[in-house]
Amino acid sequence: MHQKSKLAIILLTISTPVLAAVYLAWNNKASKNVELTYDQAIKIEDQDRNVLSNSLAIKERKVLEKAQAALQESQNPIIKETSVNTGSTVFASLKEIGISATEASLIIEAAKPEQDLGSIKSGSRIISESSKDQSGIEEVKKVTFYLEKTSYLEIVKQKDSWQAKVFSLPLTVTNELVSGVVQSSLWDSAMSAGLDSQAIQNLTDIFGWQIDFERQVKPGDEWQILVESVSIAGRWDHWGRVLSAKYRSGSDTYQAYLFNNDGHDEYYDQTGASLKGKFLKSPLNYTRISSKFQKKRFHPILGINRPHNGVDYAAATGTAVRAVGDGVITIIGTRGGSGKMIEISHNDKYRTAYKHLNSFTKGLRVGSRIKQGQVIAGVGSTGLATGPHLHFEFYENNRFVDPLGKKFPRENSLMPQQMANFNLEIERINHLVDEKAIALAKK
């Protein structure tokens, strides 16, 4: 049979896609006078089918990937956050994060059995979670209101209604031993050790009747506290109660233990004597004394030497002034060179005066009963004063005395029948301190 007739028979037996390949092969090989066999044509067809199959697979994979990406986008929540601003409302806050007025009203109504959102604190965080449907329309699925540090309100959309529930966050309390040595100031030392301003204030408040932290603190002083460390949902949040405290200054050592006396937490020394005295050592919290008690001082305004019966505490205008003891206000108003002042009678024996004030606490007047530590005024520079400071005077039997050097009577100590429980508590706390100290030494 003729060569071209044989090729025609072969072409009739194979599929059309191969014809192009056969034709190309025929042209290429004809020039070289090489015959194309049936097996060669079939091989070309198989290769073509593989190419076509791979091309379809790639297209299908791209379509599938695009569909999966769209599905993933619809499933991933869209998170939006805001907070309730002062003077604003929850309704307005919900609208700020794109929730419609209708949905916002439904959310607020659904919350009522669990929480009145009208009374939520300003600054409270609100977080919404939305998702997009296949057409790309965004729909709110959940709104969370953080009520307090340890709780939150979750409102979830179920079909066409909203369901609300309050959840509590787990709170964990551990005990930590924190200590330091004063280099420049107690504040710097405590901050370097990891305490915050509130924990430092707690430490100074404990010994507020024994130590004047304005005058008596000096480099080399040592301090140590066993303090509660509070974590919420596994994250550290704040320092809690101080269980024990020690302050050593020179040859003087002050010790404090927290003990629950008839439902009230109070601090006592190792003998069971209350640390709470009749008077605080300072009317200000942790400020610098600019002028100690002295019999004569050159007055910067009058230009003469005159007795300086009291202590000047340098502080910014408006710094809170606290009463050093319980008593009754006998003078409140402006008095010549003293400027705005308050005098408090504590009993038949003791009186205190607070001068050069900027303002008085609202509602105070002659006859007002005052509690120890109560804020009564703000530091100022009224009267004969060159700058903002508090001039503090202390009277005993109508005579000026140096309040910094005075030892005041304490409150009652624990009763004998309470000492057994108190000693057990001391033993427990000391054991905790020793354990923590050993653990820290091993680090």
Residue 121: predicted pLDDT: 87
Tokens coding 361: 């606490």
Whole-number pLDDT of residue 114 = 92
pLDDT at 182: 93
In this prediction, residue 363 carries a pLDDT of: 95
- DSSP state for residue 349 in the 8-state scheme: S
Please, are residues 155 and 164 in contact by the beta-carbon 8 Å criterion?
Answer: yes
Helix (H, G, I), strand (E, B) or coil at 64: helix
Instruction: Specify the DSSP element, H or E, that contains 337.
Output: none
Q: Do domains 172-268 and 288-400 have the same CATH topology?
A: no
Quickly tell me which residue has 């990891």 as its tokens.
194
CB atoms within 10 A of CB 167: 11
User: How far apart are alpha carbons 401 and 406 in whole angstroms?
Assistant: 8
The number of angstroms, rounded, from the C-alpha of 337 to the middle of its chain's C-alpha atoms is 44
CATH of 288-400, one of 3.50.50.60, 3.20.20.150, 2.70.70.10, 3.40.47.10: 2.70.70.10
DSSP symbols for 286-352? S-EEEE--EEEEE-TTT-SEEEE-SEEEE--TT-EEE-SS-EEEEEEEE-GGG-EEEEEE-SSSEEE
Q: List C-alpha distances in Å: 371 to 276, 280, 374, 395.
A: 13, 11, 5, 18
Angle subtended by helix axes 3-12 and 16-30, to nearest 10? 160
Rg (the chain; Cα; Å): 41
CA nearest to 285, candidates 254, 320, 323, 239: 320
Fold that domain 78-168 belongs to in CATH: Nuclear Transport Factor 2; Chain: A, (3.10.450)
Q: Which CATH architecture has domain 172-268?
A: Roll (3.10)
User: Residue 306 has what pLDDT?
Assistant: 38
pLDDT per position as a tens digit, 168-224: 989 999 999 999 999 988 888 999 999 998 999 899 889 988 887 877 889 999 999
Domain ranges of the chain: 3-74, 78-168, 172-268, 288-400
Task: State the pLDDT at residue 38.
Answer: 56
Longest dimension (CA), the chain: 145
CB 350 within 8 A of CB 325: yes
User: What are the C-alpha distances in Å from 400 to residues 288, 349, 396?
Assistant: 22, 12, 6
At 94-119, the pLDDT tens digits run: 999 989 999 999 999 999 999 999 88
Q: What is the pLDDT along the chain (443 residues), one digit of tens a residue?
A: 555 444 444 444 444 444 444 444 544 544 444 455 556 656 655 665 665 566 666 666 666 666 555 555 555 788 999 989 888 899 999 999 989 999 999 999 999 999 999 888 888 899 999 988 777 788 899 999 998 888 999 999 988 889 999 999 899 999 999 999 999 888 889 999 999 989 998 998 899 888 878 778 899 999 999 999 999 988 899 999 999 999 999 899 999 999 998 888 999 999 999 998 888 888 887 543 343 333 344 334 333 333 457 788 888 888 899 999 999 999 999 999 999 999 999 998 999 999 999 999 999 999 999 999 999 999 999 998 888 889 999 999 988 887 777 777 777 789 999 999 999 999 999 999 999 999 988 87
